Amino acid sequence: MSYSTFNRKHFDSTKEPMFFGENVNVARYDQQKHPIFEKLIEKQLSFFWRPEEVDLSTDRKDFQRLEEHEQHIFLSNLKYQTLLDSVQGRSPNVALLPIVSLPELETWIETWSFSETIHSRSYTHIIRNIVNDPTKIFDDIVTNEEITKRADSVSKYYDRLIEMVNLYNTMGMGTFDVPGRGSIEISMPKLKKALYLTIASVNVLEAIRFYVSFACSFAFAERTLMEGNAKIIKLIARDEALHLTGTQHMLNLMASGKDDPEMAVIAAECQDEVRQIFIEAAEQEKEWATYLFKDGSMIGLNAQILGQYVEYITNVRMQAVGLETCFATKHNPIPWINAWLVSDNVQVAPQEAEISSYLVGQTDNSLDDSDFDDFDL
């Protein structure tokens, strides 16, 4: 079936699945199958920000004073972030809009992608402010082997889904010989599987890979360095928290069968593959950490600690989509990151608030004074 920008059929879109049903016709939000997506849209719009609002004048001086290996860490991390948002600024649109079937979800995808374009523009803002020649940095993103390796893993599921949907839209179902690609089978279960794996890999991109990069950005700010950059990353992190909730909803709705019973079967079938996507990404991020810190670590962060954070955050994200956790790290090795991730408009000062709870019936004999270090009574 080929895509139509205005489907002429009469149908009740609240009876359609999220994907691979009818093409959306009227962009209407008076009746919604999954109102959560409109809530995400509203929240995302309330987050609107512009990179130029953030002053980066002290970052330039900070950057020049960084040691060489620290500049390597900072720039490599920034290149990786630029790559990730380059992918995210287009791929949800290109891959998902042709197959989406609910108006509220279609608009969420567009709103989501749009916010990624703000992220991309903010990297240019940062790079322009800290170096004289941004070209060198941007050009390296397509040549640096460590970065291109990352590019392969973040784009391959998207690319495969796009290829299959293109075939489906032009040729329909069947097995097709594609020059240079071999034979590709197109069937609804195959399409749905490719979609499910893609959403999982997008969740991994936004909920794990990005958070690893946030840790590096904030590690500089913990030392009161590159604070303008950290302000921008805080705004990006707030958006990403919403995006990862979007893909968690998609994955959980798919797996629950509440959206499309056929998708629930597929989700169950590829649970192992999805686990593998999470685990592989975590291993790649650990490798990346080794590359970042190859010439030396920085105060507060090294390859080992970042690797532990990778394991920890992967556990958190796996649990959120109903997968069994698989790494040994059960505690956040860099708890300070949360104070950076939290939005400015939210107060986090437990010691300032009135105490209304206290420990009682302490039965843990191993509890010592250090357990109380963090709170005043």
Partner 1 sequence: MTSISKPKAPEKKEQVHRVLLGKKQILVTEDEPLLVQLERAGIHVEYQCREGYCSSCSIKLLWGNVIYPFEPLAWVQSGYLLACCAIVKSDIEIAFFD
| CA gap 93, 361 in Å, rounded | 55
For residues 202 and 63, the answer to whether their CB atoms sit within 8 Å is no
Q: By the 8 A CB rule, do 22 and 39 touch?
A: no
Beta bridge partners of 100: 19
- Helices 145-171/134-143 angle, 10° precision: 60
Determine, following the binding rule CB under 8 A, whether residue 368 of this chain makes contact with partner 1: no
Question: From the CB of 63, what's the least distance to partner 1, in Å?
Answer: 27
- Rule CB under 8 A: choose which of 86, 88, 248, 314 binds partner 1: 248
In the bound state with partner 1, the residue whose beta carbon lies nearer, of 5 and 377, is 377
Pattern of binders to Fe ion over 85-114, x per CB under 5 A? x--x--------------------------
Residue 116 interacting partner from Fe ion, partner 1, none (CB closer than 5 to 8 Å by kind): Fe ion
Backbone angles phi, psi at 231, to 5 degrees: -65, -45
Near partner 1 in 250-269, by CB under 8 A: 252
**Binding test (CB under 8 A) with partner 1, winner from 9, 331, 344, 368:** 331
Instruction: Compute the distance between CA of residue 58 and CA of residue 130 in angstroms, rounded to an integer.
Output: 9
Instruction: Give the interface segment with partner 1, choosing from 10-18, 38-46, 68-76, 275-283 (CB under 8 A).
Output: 38-46
**Residue 46 in contact with partner 1, rule: CB under 8 A:** no
For 321, residues 6+ apart whose C-beta sits below 8 A from its C-beta are 200, 203, 248, 251, 252, 255, 274
What is the residue whose two structure tokens read 């950057």?
Answer: 63
Among positions 230, 241, 266, 310, the unique one binding partner 1 when judged by CB under 8 A: 241
How far is it, in rounded angstroms, from Cα 230 to Cα 248? 26
Tell me if 249 contacts partner 1 by CB under 8 A: yes
State which residue has the least CB distance to Fe ion.
243
Give strand pairing partners of 174. Answer: 186
Q: What mask, x for binding Fe ion by CB under 5 A, covers residues 134 to 173?
A: ----------------------------------------
Query: Which backbone phi and psi does 54 adopt, to 5 degrees?
Result: -95, 125
3-state DSSP call for residue 292?
helix
Q: Which two tokens stand for residue 292?
A: 């970042």
In angstroms, give the least distance from the CB of 365 to partner 1. 8
Q: How far is CA 347 from the centre of its chain?
A: 25
Tell me whether residue 40 or residue 204 sits nearer to partner 1 (CB atom): 40
Q: Say whether 123 is catalytic.
A: yes
Structure tokens at 315: 């556990």
- Using CB under 5 A as the criterion, what x/- string covers residues 172-211 for binding Fe ion? ----------------------------------x-----
Binding of residue 238 to Fe ion (CB under 5 A): no
**Which one of the listed residues 123, 158, 291, 309 is annotated catalytic?**
123
CB-neighbour burial class of residue 135 (10 A; exposed 0-12, middle 13-18, buried 19+) = exposed
* Ranges within 298-317 binding partner 1 (CB under 8 A): 315-316
Residue that the structure tokens 């109903």 belong to:
322
For residue 199, the minimal CB distance to partner 1 (Å) is 13
DSSP-derived secondary structure letter, 354: P
Q: How far is the CB of 281 from partner 1 (least distance, A)?
A: 18
By CB under 5 A, which span of 236-244, 268-276, 313-321, 343-351 interacts with Fe ion? 236-244
Task: Return the C-alpha torsion angle 229, 341, 310, 208, nearest 10.
Answer: -90
CA atoms within 13 A on the CB side of 299: 8
Of 90-98, 171-179, 264-272, 341-349, the window that binds partner 1 (rule: CB under 8 A) is 341-349
Query: What residues act catalytically?
Result: 123
Which residues bind to Fe ion, rule: CB under 5 A?
85, 88, 116, 119, 206, 240, 243
Which residues bind to partner 1, rule: CB under 8 A?
36, 39-40, 43, 237-238, 241-242, 244-245, 248-249, 252, 315-316, 319-320, 322, 325, 330-332, 335, 338, 341-343, 346, 348, 350, 353, 355-364, 367, 371-377
